[in-house]
A and B are shown apart, each in its own frame.
Chain A
Amino acid sequence: MTLREQPEAARRDARVADETDLAAEVKRLLAAGQREEAAERFGGIIDRQQRRAARIAYHYLRDPAEVDEVVQDAFLKGFVHLPSFRENLFFELWFTRILVNACLDRLKAKTRRARWLVSSDARDRLASNEPPSNDPSPEATLLAKERRAHLDAAIDQLPTRQRTAVILIHFEGRSAREVSLVMGLNESTVRVHLFRAVRKLRGLLDKDWWTIRRRTAPRRHNTPPNVIRAQGRR
Protein backbone atom coordinates (compact mmCIF):
# COMPACT_ATOMS: atom_id res chain seq x y z
CA MET A 1 0.00 0.00 0.00
CA THR A 2 1.45 3.35 -0.98
CA LEU A 3 1.72 6.35 1.27
CA ARG A 4 -0.76 8.20 -0.92
CA GLU A 5 -3.32 5.46 -0.43
CA GLN A 6 -3.11 5.40 3.35
CA PRO A 7 -5.67 8.12 4.17
CA GLU A 8 -8.13 6.55 1.78
CA ALA A 9 -7.52 3.18 3.34
CA ALA A 10 -8.04 4.64 6.79
CA ARG A 11 -11.35 6.14 5.72
CA ARG A 12 -12.39 2.84 4.23
CA ASP A 13 -11.45 0.99 7.37
CA ALA A 14 -13.51 3.41 9.43
CA ARG A 15 -16.48 2.94 7.13
CA VAL A 16 -16.12 -0.82 7.28
CA ALA A 17 -15.93 -0.69 11.07
CA ASP A 18 -19.10 1.42 11.18
CA GLU A 19 -20.92 -1.09 9.01
CA THR A 20 -19.76 -3.90 11.25
CA ASP A 21 -21.10 -2.09 14.30
CA LEU A 22 -24.38 -1.52 12.52
CA ALA A 23 -24.59 -5.18 11.58
CA ALA A 24 -23.95 -6.17 15.19
CA GLU A 25 -26.77 -3.89 16.28
CA VAL A 26 -29.14 -5.44 13.72
CA LYS A 27 -28.10 -8.84 15.00
CA ARG A 28 -28.98 -7.84 18.56
CA LEU A 29 -32.37 -6.55 17.43
CA LEU A 30 -33.07 -9.78 15.61
CA ALA A 31 -32.14 -11.77 18.70
CA ALA A 32 -34.51 -9.61 20.73
CA GLY A 33 -37.33 -10.33 18.28
CA GLN A 34 -37.62 -6.76 16.99
CA ARG A 35 -37.65 -7.72 13.35
CA GLU A 36 -39.21 -4.59 11.92
CA GLU A 37 -36.73 -2.31 13.61
CA ALA A 38 -33.91 -4.61 12.53
CA ALA A 39 -35.09 -4.37 8.93
CA GLU A 40 -35.08 -0.57 9.14
CA ARG A 41 -31.54 -0.53 10.48
CA PHE A 42 -30.48 -3.01 7.86
CA GLY A 43 -31.61 -0.48 5.27
CA GLY A 44 -28.64 1.66 6.28
CA ILE A 45 -26.30 -1.18 5.40
CA ILE A 46 -28.05 -1.63 2.07
CA ASP A 47 -27.58 2.04 1.24
CA ARG A 48 -23.85 1.75 1.84
CA GLN A 49 -23.25 -1.56 0.13
CA GLN A 50 -25.71 -1.59 -2.74
CA ARG A 51 -23.63 0.08 -5.42
CA ARG A 52 -20.52 -1.89 -4.60
CA ALA A 53 -22.50 -5.13 -4.56
CA ALA A 54 -24.09 -4.36 -7.91
CA ARG A 55 -20.70 -3.57 -9.40
CA ILE A 56 -19.17 -6.84 -8.19
CA ALA A 57 -22.16 -8.83 -9.44
CA TYR A 58 -21.99 -7.04 -12.77
CA HIS A 59 -18.36 -8.01 -13.21
CA TYR A 60 -19.40 -11.63 -12.81
CA LEU A 61 -22.70 -11.79 -14.65
CA ARG A 62 -22.87 -8.80 -17.05
CA ASP A 63 -26.61 -9.15 -17.33
CA PRO A 64 -28.43 -6.28 -15.58
CA ALA A 65 -31.55 -8.31 -14.85
CA GLU A 66 -29.56 -11.11 -13.26
CA VAL A 67 -27.48 -8.60 -11.33
CA ASP A 68 -30.69 -7.14 -9.88
CA GLU A 69 -31.86 -10.54 -8.75
CA VAL A 70 -28.54 -11.60 -7.30
CA VAL A 71 -28.11 -8.38 -5.34
CA GLN A 72 -31.62 -8.63 -3.91
CA ASP A 73 -31.13 -12.26 -2.97
CA ALA A 74 -27.75 -11.55 -1.40
CA PHE A 75 -29.12 -8.79 0.81
CA LEU A 76 -32.07 -10.90 1.91
CA LYS A 77 -29.78 -13.83 2.58
CA GLY A 78 -27.50 -11.59 4.58
CA PHE A 79 -30.42 -10.36 6.68
CA VAL A 80 -31.74 -13.86 7.31
CA HIS A 81 -28.33 -15.25 8.25
CA LEU A 82 -27.22 -12.24 10.23
CA PRO A 83 -27.65 -14.11 13.54
CA SER A 84 -24.72 -16.31 12.45
CA PHE A 85 -22.50 -13.30 11.74
CA ARG A 86 -19.45 -13.00 14.01
CA GLU A 87 -18.44 -9.49 14.99
CA ASN A 88 -14.74 -10.28 14.90
CA LEU A 89 -14.98 -10.25 11.09
CA PHE A 90 -15.82 -7.25 8.97
CA PHE A 91 -19.40 -7.24 7.76
CA GLU A 92 -18.31 -6.11 4.30
CA LEU A 93 -16.11 -9.16 3.84
CA TRP A 94 -18.82 -11.46 5.19
CA PHE A 95 -21.39 -10.00 2.85
CA THR A 96 -18.96 -10.06 -0.09
CA ARG A 97 -18.54 -13.75 0.45
CA ILE A 98 -22.31 -14.26 0.30
CA LEU A 99 -22.51 -12.17 -2.84
CA VAL A 100 -19.65 -13.89 -4.65
CA ASN A 101 -21.09 -17.31 -3.85
CA ALA A 102 -24.48 -16.20 -5.16
CA CYS A 103 -22.86 -14.96 -8.36
CA LEU A 104 -20.95 -18.19 -8.86
CA ASP A 105 -24.12 -20.22 -8.28
CA ARG A 106 -25.92 -18.10 -10.83
CA LEU A 107 -23.11 -18.58 -13.32
CA LYS A 108 -23.30 -22.35 -12.88
CA ALA A 109 -27.04 -22.30 -13.46
CA LYS A 110 -26.51 -20.12 -16.50
CA THR A 111 -24.00 -22.58 -17.91
CA ARG A 112 -26.43 -25.45 -17.35
CA ARG A 113 -29.19 -23.54 -19.13
CA ALA A 114 -26.89 -22.66 -22.00
CA ARG A 115 -26.39 -26.34 -22.77
CA TRP A 116 -30.03 -26.64 -23.78
CA LEU A 117 -30.23 -23.46 -25.82
CA VAL A 118 -29.87 -23.79 -29.55
CA SER A 119 -28.53 -20.32 -30.20
CA SER A 120 -28.55 -17.48 -27.77
CA ASP A 121 -26.14 -14.60 -27.79
CA ALA A 122 -26.54 -12.81 -24.52
CA ARG A 123 -24.25 -10.05 -25.56
CA ASP A 124 -26.40 -9.09 -28.52
CA ARG A 125 -29.37 -9.01 -26.20
CA LEU A 126 -27.41 -6.85 -23.81
CA ALA A 127 -26.33 -4.51 -26.53
CA SER A 128 -29.93 -3.88 -27.49
CA ASN A 129 -30.77 -3.01 -23.88
CA GLU A 130 -27.94 -0.57 -23.49
CA PRO A 131 -28.89 3.05 -23.07
CA PRO A 132 -27.82 5.42 -25.81
CA SER A 133 -24.36 6.78 -25.29
CA ASN A 134 -23.62 10.49 -24.94
CA ASP A 135 -20.38 10.12 -26.83
CA PRO A 136 -20.51 12.37 -29.90
CA SER A 137 -18.26 10.18 -32.01
CA PRO A 138 -19.80 6.95 -33.31
CA GLU A 139 -16.34 5.58 -34.02
CA ALA A 140 -15.24 6.12 -30.43
CA THR A 141 -18.41 4.46 -29.19
CA LEU A 142 -17.84 1.50 -31.42
CA LEU A 143 -14.23 1.17 -30.34
CA ALA A 144 -15.18 1.41 -26.69
CA LYS A 145 -17.80 -1.30 -27.15
CA GLU A 146 -15.29 -3.48 -28.90
CA ARG A 147 -12.76 -3.02 -26.13
CA ARG A 148 -15.32 -3.90 -23.50
CA ALA A 149 -16.44 -6.96 -25.41
CA HIS A 150 -12.86 -8.16 -25.69
CA LEU A 151 -12.25 -7.61 -22.02
CA ASP A 152 -15.48 -9.36 -21.05
CA ALA A 153 -14.66 -12.33 -23.24
CA ALA A 154 -11.17 -12.54 -21.77
CA ILE A 155 -12.45 -12.38 -18.18
CA ASP A 156 -14.99 -15.08 -18.96
CA GLN A 157 -12.17 -17.45 -19.82
CA LEU A 158 -10.48 -17.09 -16.43
CA PRO A 159 -10.88 -19.80 -13.81
CA THR A 160 -13.17 -18.97 -10.91
CA ARG A 161 -10.51 -18.13 -8.35
CA GLN A 162 -8.48 -16.03 -10.73
CA ARG A 163 -11.60 -14.17 -11.76
CA THR A 164 -12.54 -13.49 -8.16
CA ALA A 165 -9.02 -12.24 -7.43
CA VAL A 166 -9.08 -9.89 -10.40
CA ILE A 167 -12.52 -8.54 -9.67
CA LEU A 168 -12.08 -7.97 -5.98
CA ILE A 169 -8.46 -6.79 -5.95
CA HIS A 170 -7.97 -5.15 -9.27
CA PHE A 171 -11.44 -3.81 -10.02
CA GLU A 172 -12.75 -3.23 -6.52
CA GLY A 173 -9.49 -2.17 -4.90
CA ARG A 174 -9.60 -4.66 -2.04
CA SER A 175 -6.34 -5.74 -0.49
CA ALA A 176 -4.98 -9.25 -0.93
CA ARG A 177 -5.52 -9.88 2.77
CA GLU A 178 -9.19 -8.96 2.62
CA VAL A 179 -9.71 -11.11 -0.45
CA SER A 180 -7.93 -13.97 1.24
CA LEU A 181 -10.53 -13.76 4.01
CA VAL A 182 -13.33 -13.69 1.45
CA MET A 183 -11.98 -16.60 -0.56
CA GLY A 184 -10.72 -18.59 2.39
CA LEU A 185 -7.22 -18.80 0.92
CA ASN A 186 -3.74 -17.80 1.94
CA GLU A 187 -2.76 -14.21 1.13
CA SER A 188 0.19 -15.21 -1.02
CA THR A 189 -2.03 -17.66 -2.88
CA VAL A 190 -4.41 -14.85 -3.68
CA ARG A 191 -1.54 -12.80 -5.06
CA VAL A 192 -0.45 -15.68 -7.23
CA HIS A 193 -4.01 -16.00 -8.54
CA LEU A 194 -4.07 -12.30 -9.35
CA PHE A 195 -0.74 -12.42 -11.13
CA ARG A 196 -1.70 -15.45 -13.21
CA ALA A 197 -5.05 -13.90 -14.05
CA VAL A 198 -3.56 -10.67 -15.36
CA ARG A 199 -0.87 -12.55 -17.25
CA LYS A 200 -3.54 -14.65 -18.90
CA LEU A 201 -5.66 -11.59 -19.66
CA ARG A 202 -2.67 -10.00 -21.26
CA GLY A 203 -2.27 -13.00 -23.51
CA LEU A 204 -5.97 -13.13 -24.35
CA LEU A 205 -6.37 -9.48 -25.22
CA ASP A 206 -5.01 -9.02 -28.69
CA LYS A 207 -2.61 -6.33 -29.74
CA ASP A 208 -5.37 -4.18 -31.24
CA TRP A 209 -6.82 -3.72 -27.79
CA TRP A 210 -3.49 -2.39 -26.61
CA THR A 211 -3.02 -0.14 -29.59
CA ILE A 212 -6.46 1.40 -29.24
CA ARG A 213 -5.97 1.92 -25.56
CA ARG A 214 -2.51 3.37 -25.89
CA ARG A 215 -3.65 5.77 -28.58
CA THR A 216 -6.34 7.16 -26.32
CA ALA A 217 -4.59 6.96 -22.96
CA PRO A 218 -2.12 9.66 -21.94
CA ARG A 219 1.48 8.56 -21.82
CA ARG A 220 2.70 8.33 -18.28
CA HIS A 221 5.44 6.61 -16.38
CA ASN A 222 4.08 4.72 -13.42
CA THR A 223 6.49 4.01 -10.65
CA PRO A 224 5.96 0.45 -9.48
CA PRO A 225 4.12 0.30 -6.15
CA ASN A 226 6.66 -2.10 -4.74
CA VAL A 227 9.49 0.26 -5.60
CA ILE A 228 7.74 3.07 -3.76
CA ARG A 229 7.24 0.74 -0.83
CA ALA A 230 10.89 -0.23 -0.89
CA GLN A 231 11.97 3.41 -1.06
CA GLY A 232 9.66 4.23 1.82
CA ARG A 233 11.30 1.56 3.94
CA ARG A 234 14.71 3.09 3.34
Chain B
Amino acid sequence: MTMGPGWFSQRIWWQFPRRHPSEDRLLALALGTTNAARKDAAAASHLRTCGPCEHRFNALSTLVTAMPEVADARFDEVFTPQRLQTQRARIASRLAQLVGRVEPARVLAFPFSRQTRRPFDVRPTRWLAAAAAAGVLLGVAAGQLVHYHPFETQSATAADPADAPQSTAALNRPAGAFDLTGTVEIPPPDGGTPTQASPLTLMEFAQLMAEEGFLTNLDLALTSHRISQLESIDALTPRVRDLPIDIQ
Protein backbone atom coordinates (compact mmCIF):
# COMPACT_ATOMS: atom_id res chain seq x y z
CA MET B 1 0.00 0.00 0.00
CA THR B 2 1.51 3.31 -1.06
CA MET B 3 0.96 6.38 1.02
CA GLY B 4 -0.04 9.39 -1.06
CA PRO B 5 0.50 13.00 -0.05
CA GLY B 6 -3.04 13.27 1.29
CA TRP B 7 -2.79 10.21 3.46
CA PHE B 8 -1.55 12.08 6.52
CA SER B 9 -4.28 14.68 6.45
CA GLN B 10 -6.90 11.99 5.92
CA ARG B 11 -5.50 10.08 8.87
CA ILE B 12 -5.63 13.19 11.00
CA TRP B 13 -9.25 13.73 10.08
CA TRP B 14 -10.07 10.13 10.87
CA GLN B 15 -8.35 10.23 14.25
CA PHE B 16 -9.69 13.64 15.24
CA PRO B 17 -13.16 13.78 13.78
CA ARG B 18 -14.15 16.61 16.12
CA ARG B 19 -11.64 19.02 14.63
CA HIS B 20 -13.85 21.76 13.25
CA PRO B 21 -13.05 23.22 9.86
CA SER B 22 -12.23 26.88 9.76
CA GLU B 23 -14.57 29.56 8.50
CA ASP B 24 -12.47 30.01 5.37
CA ARG B 25 -12.58 26.30 4.64
CA LEU B 26 -16.36 26.28 4.92
CA LEU B 27 -16.61 29.35 2.70
CA ALA B 28 -14.36 27.76 0.11
CA LEU B 29 -16.56 24.67 0.25
CA ALA B 30 -19.66 26.74 -0.28
CA LEU B 31 -18.08 28.61 -3.18
CA GLY B 32 -16.37 25.59 -4.69
CA THR B 33 -13.11 27.42 -5.11
CA THR B 34 -10.78 24.80 -3.63
CA ASN B 35 -8.93 22.06 -5.44
CA ALA B 36 -8.18 19.94 -2.37
CA ALA B 37 -10.74 17.18 -2.89
CA ARG B 38 -9.57 15.01 0.01
CA LYS B 39 -9.75 17.85 2.50
CA ASP B 40 -13.16 18.77 1.16
CA ALA B 41 -14.37 15.20 1.53
CA ALA B 42 -13.07 15.07 5.09
CA ALA B 43 -14.75 18.36 5.91
CA ALA B 44 -18.00 17.12 4.38
CA SER B 45 -17.91 13.99 6.50
CA HIS B 46 -17.33 16.19 9.53
CA LEU B 47 -20.32 18.33 8.61
CA ARG B 48 -22.58 15.30 8.68
CA THR B 49 -21.68 14.57 12.28
CA CYS B 50 -21.18 18.06 13.75
CA GLY B 51 -24.30 20.14 14.25
CA PRO B 52 -22.67 23.54 14.92
CA CYS B 53 -20.44 23.19 11.85
CA GLU B 54 -23.43 22.21 9.76
CA HIS B 55 -25.22 25.30 11.00
CA ARG B 56 -22.25 27.49 10.09
CA PHE B 57 -22.02 25.92 6.67
CA ASN B 58 -25.73 26.42 6.06
CA ALA B 59 -25.40 30.08 6.95
CA LEU B 60 -22.53 30.50 4.54
CA SER B 61 -24.39 28.66 1.79
CA THR B 62 -27.38 30.89 2.39
CA LEU B 63 -25.21 33.95 1.94
CA VAL B 64 -23.65 32.59 -1.22
CA THR B 65 -26.99 31.72 -2.79
CA ALA B 66 -28.79 34.82 -1.51
CA MET B 67 -26.49 37.42 -2.98
CA PRO B 68 -27.22 36.77 -6.66
CA GLU B 69 -30.93 36.49 -5.93
CA VAL B 70 -30.99 39.84 -4.15
CA ALA B 71 -28.90 41.51 -6.83
CA ASP B 72 -30.94 40.13 -9.72
CA ALA B 73 -34.28 40.95 -8.12
CA ARG B 74 -33.63 44.65 -8.41
CA PHE B 75 -32.46 44.32 -11.99
CA ASP B 76 -35.70 42.64 -12.96
CA GLU B 77 -37.64 45.45 -11.31
CA VAL B 78 -35.79 48.23 -13.08
CA PHE B 79 -35.09 46.71 -16.48
CA THR B 80 -38.51 45.71 -17.64
CA PRO B 81 -39.02 44.25 -21.14
CA GLN B 82 -40.27 47.63 -22.33
CA ARG B 83 -37.11 49.33 -21.16
CA LEU B 84 -34.92 46.71 -22.80
CA GLN B 85 -36.95 47.13 -26.01
CA THR B 86 -36.35 50.88 -25.94
CA GLN B 87 -32.67 50.30 -25.37
CA ARG B 88 -32.58 47.87 -28.29
CA ALA B 89 -34.24 50.44 -30.56
CA ARG B 90 -31.67 53.06 -29.59
CA ILE B 91 -28.82 50.71 -30.34
CA ALA B 92 -30.33 49.90 -33.73
CA SER B 93 -30.77 53.58 -34.48
CA ARG B 94 -27.17 54.43 -33.61
CA LEU B 95 -25.98 51.44 -35.59
CA ALA B 96 -27.95 52.61 -38.64
CA GLN B 97 -26.35 56.04 -38.35
CA LEU B 98 -22.97 54.42 -38.06
CA VAL B 99 -23.27 52.48 -41.30
CA GLY B 100 -24.80 55.46 -43.09
CA ARG B 101 -28.22 53.98 -43.61
CA VAL B 102 -29.87 56.86 -41.78
CA GLU B 103 -28.95 60.50 -41.92
CA PRO B 104 -27.65 61.80 -38.62
CA ALA B 105 -30.03 63.91 -36.61
CA ARG B 106 -30.24 67.56 -37.66
CA VAL B 107 -29.02 70.03 -35.11
CA LEU B 108 -31.58 72.77 -34.53
CA ALA B 109 -30.43 76.35 -34.36
CA PHE B 110 -30.81 77.99 -30.99
CA PRO B 111 -32.55 80.34 -30.46
CA PHE B 112 -34.92 79.12 -33.12
CA SER B 113 -35.94 81.75 -35.68
CA ARG B 114 -37.31 81.64 -39.18
CA GLN B 115 -34.73 84.08 -40.48
CA THR B 116 -31.49 82.30 -40.93
CA ARG B 117 -28.68 84.37 -39.58
CA ARG B 118 -25.40 84.62 -41.32
CA PRO B 119 -22.60 82.98 -39.47
CA PHE B 120 -20.04 85.19 -37.83
CA ASP B 121 -17.79 86.79 -40.44
CA VAL B 122 -14.21 86.34 -39.43
CA ARG B 123 -12.90 88.79 -42.04
CA PRO B 124 -11.67 92.09 -40.55
CA THR B 125 -14.17 94.86 -41.12
CA ARG B 126 -13.87 98.66 -41.12
CA TRP B 127 -14.99 99.10 -37.54
CA LEU B 128 -12.20 96.84 -36.44
CA ALA B 129 -9.57 99.04 -38.16
CA ALA B 130 -11.18 102.19 -36.77
CA ALA B 131 -11.14 100.79 -33.26
CA ALA B 132 -7.47 99.91 -33.59
CA ALA B 133 -6.60 103.41 -34.85
CA ALA B 134 -8.57 105.03 -32.04
CA GLY B 135 -6.74 102.92 -29.52
CA VAL B 136 -3.37 103.98 -30.89
CA LEU B 137 -4.36 107.65 -30.84
CA LEU B 138 -5.61 107.42 -27.28
CA GLY B 139 -2.37 105.77 -26.20
CA VAL B 140 -0.23 108.46 -27.84
CA ALA B 141 -2.31 111.27 -26.30
CA ALA B 142 -2.10 109.71 -22.84
CA GLY B 143 1.66 109.38 -23.21
CA GLN B 144 2.02 113.01 -24.17
CA LEU B 145 -0.11 114.13 -21.24
CA VAL B 146 2.01 112.21 -18.79
CA HIS B 147 5.27 113.66 -20.09
CA TYR B 148 3.86 117.21 -20.21
CA HIS B 149 3.35 117.21 -16.39
CA PRO B 150 6.36 115.47 -14.96
CA PHE B 151 6.51 114.72 -11.26
CA GLU B 152 8.33 117.37 -9.27
CA THR B 153 11.27 116.40 -7.16
CA GLN B 154 11.82 117.69 -3.66
CA SER B 155 15.10 118.23 -1.97
CA ALA B 156 15.74 116.70 1.38
CA THR B 157 16.18 120.06 3.11
CA ALA B 158 12.92 121.36 1.70
CA ALA B 159 11.13 118.27 2.89
CA ASP B 160 12.27 118.57 6.51
CA PRO B 161 13.99 121.90 7.23
CA ALA B 162 13.75 121.58 11.02
CA ASP B 163 16.12 118.71 11.09
CA ALA B 164 18.92 120.66 9.48
CA PRO B 165 19.23 124.17 10.84
CA GLN B 166 22.92 124.17 10.24
CA SER B 167 22.58 123.65 6.54
CA THR B 168 21.57 127.17 5.69
CA ALA B 169 25.08 128.00 4.73
CA ALA B 170 25.21 125.15 2.40
CA LEU B 171 21.94 126.09 0.87
CA ASN B 172 23.27 129.55 0.12
CA ARG B 173 25.41 128.07 -2.54
CA PRO B 174 24.39 128.53 -6.11
CA ALA B 175 21.69 126.06 -7.00
CA GLY B 176 23.41 124.97 -10.11
CA ALA B 177 26.68 124.28 -8.33
CA PHE B 178 25.46 122.05 -5.55
CA ASP B 179 22.56 119.69 -5.24
CA LEU B 180 21.67 117.40 -2.35
CA THR B 181 20.48 114.72 -4.67
CA GLY B 182 24.12 114.03 -5.42
CA THR B 183 24.35 115.65 -8.78
CA VAL B 184 27.19 118.13 -8.96
CA GLU B 185 27.35 120.52 -11.81
CA ILE B 186 30.65 122.10 -12.54
CA PRO B 187 30.50 125.85 -12.14
CA PRO B 188 32.04 127.75 -14.96
CA PRO B 189 35.37 129.31 -14.03
CA ASP B 190 34.45 132.65 -15.43
CA GLY B 191 31.17 132.86 -13.51
CA GLY B 192 29.02 132.43 -16.59
CA THR B 193 25.76 130.65 -16.75
CA PRO B 194 25.86 126.90 -16.04
CA THR B 195 24.57 126.06 -19.41
CA GLN B 196 27.62 127.50 -21.03
CA ALA B 197 30.11 124.74 -20.41
CA SER B 198 33.79 125.49 -20.68
CA PRO B 199 36.68 123.09 -20.96
CA LEU B 200 38.75 122.36 -17.81
CA THR B 201 42.16 120.91 -17.37
CA LEU B 202 42.62 117.62 -15.59
CA MET B 203 44.29 119.17 -12.51
CA GLU B 204 41.59 121.82 -12.17
CA PHE B 205 38.93 119.19 -12.46
CA ALA B 206 40.58 116.96 -9.78
CA GLN B 207 40.97 119.87 -7.38
CA LEU B 208 37.46 120.96 -7.94
CA MET B 209 36.11 117.50 -7.36
CA ALA B 210 38.12 117.13 -4.13
CA GLU B 211 36.79 120.38 -2.71
CA GLU B 212 33.30 119.66 -3.82
CA GLY B 213 33.45 116.15 -2.38
CA PHE B 214 34.63 117.38 0.99
CA LEU B 215 31.96 120.04 1.09
CA THR B 216 29.35 117.57 0.01
CA ASN B 217 30.28 115.12 2.75
CA LEU B 218 30.33 117.88 5.34
CA ASP B 219 27.00 119.22 4.29
CA LEU B 220 25.46 115.80 4.22
CA ALA B 221 26.74 115.16 7.74
CA LEU B 222 25.21 118.40 8.94
CA THR B 223 21.91 118.01 7.21
CA SER B 224 21.42 114.31 7.79
CA HIS B 225 19.11 113.06 10.46
CA ARG B 226 20.56 112.77 13.91
CA ILE B 227 20.74 109.41 15.54
CA SER B 228 17.73 109.35 17.82
CA GLN B 229 19.36 107.02 20.35
CA LEU B 230 22.14 109.53 20.98
CA GLU B 231 19.95 112.61 21.32
CA SER B 232 19.60 112.28 25.13
CA ILE B 233 23.35 111.96 25.55
CA ASP B 234 23.85 114.88 23.25
CA ALA B 235 21.48 116.99 25.36
CA LEU B 236 23.38 116.18 28.55
CA THR B 237 26.73 116.93 27.06
CA PRO B 238 27.79 120.48 27.91
CA ARG B 239 28.85 122.59 25.00
CA VAL B 240 31.74 124.98 24.94
CA ARG B 241 29.60 127.98 24.31
CA ASP B 242 27.45 127.20 27.36
CA LEU B 243 30.35 127.09 29.82
CA PRO B 244 31.20 130.30 31.71
CA ILE B 245 34.59 131.40 30.64
CA ASP B 246 36.56 132.85 33.44
CA ILE B 247 39.76 134.24 32.23
CA GLN B 248 41.87 135.61 34.89
Task: Give residues in A with beta carbon < 8 Å to B.
Answer: 35-36, 38-39, 42-43, 46-47, 50-51, 54-55, 58-59, 64, 67-68, 71-72, 75-76, 79-80, 130-131, 133, 144, 147-148, 151, 155, 170-171, 176, 191-192, 194-195, 198-199, 201-202, 205, 210, 213-214, 217, 219-227, 229-231, 233
CA distance in complex: A69, B226 (Å)? 83
Q: Does B92 contact A (CB under 8 A)?
A: yes
A-B contacts, 30 of them at CB < 8 A, read A36-B101, A43-B92, A43-B95, A46-B91, A50-B87, A55-B75, A68-B90, A76-B94, A79-B95, A79-B98, A144-B70, A144-B73, A148-B74, A151-B70, A171-B71, A171-B72, A192-B33, A194-B31, A198-B27, A202-B60, A210-B62, A213-B62, A214-B59, A217-B66, A220-B61, A221-B54, A224-B30, A224-B57, A227-B41, A231-B41
A201 B67 Cβ-Cβ under 8 A: yes
Shortest Cβ-Cβ A-B pairs, 8 listed: A225-B32, A230-B37, A224-B29, A35-B99, A227-B44, A222-B61, A226-B40, A191-B33
Nearest A residue (CB) for B58: A221
Q: Does B19 contact A (CB under 8 A)?
A: no
Q: Does B28 contact A (CB under 8 A)?
A: yes
The 0/1 profile, CB within 8 Å of A marked 1, for residues 49-82 of chain B is 0000010011111111111101111110111100
With A50-B84, A202-B27, A224-B40 as known contacts, state yes or no: A148 contacts B70, CB within 8 Å.
yes
Chain A: minimal CB distance from B87 (Å) = 5
CA distance in complex: A220, B83 (Å)? 36
Nearest B residue (CB) for A131: B77
User: Chain B's interface: helix, strand, loop or mixed, by majority?
Assistant: helix
- Neighbouring A residues of B44 by C-beta, 8 Å: 223-224, 227
- Neighbouring B residues of A43 by C-beta, 8 Å: 92, 95
Chain B: minimal CB distance from A129 (Å) = 8
A230 B30 Cβ-Cβ under 8 A: no
B28 A195 Cβ-Cβ under 8 A: yes
A64 B24 Cβ-Cβ under 8 A: no
B79 A64 Cβ-Cβ under 8 A: yes
Which residue of the partner chain, among B32, B71, B78, contacts A151 with CB atoms under 8 Å?
B71
CA distance in complex: A176, B130 (Å)? 75
- Neighbouring B residues of A47 by C-beta, 8 Å: 88
- Neighbouring A residues of B80 by C-beta, 8 Å: 131
- Neighbouring A residues of B73 by C-beta, 8 Å: 144, 148
Chain B: minimal CB distance from A203 (Å) = 10
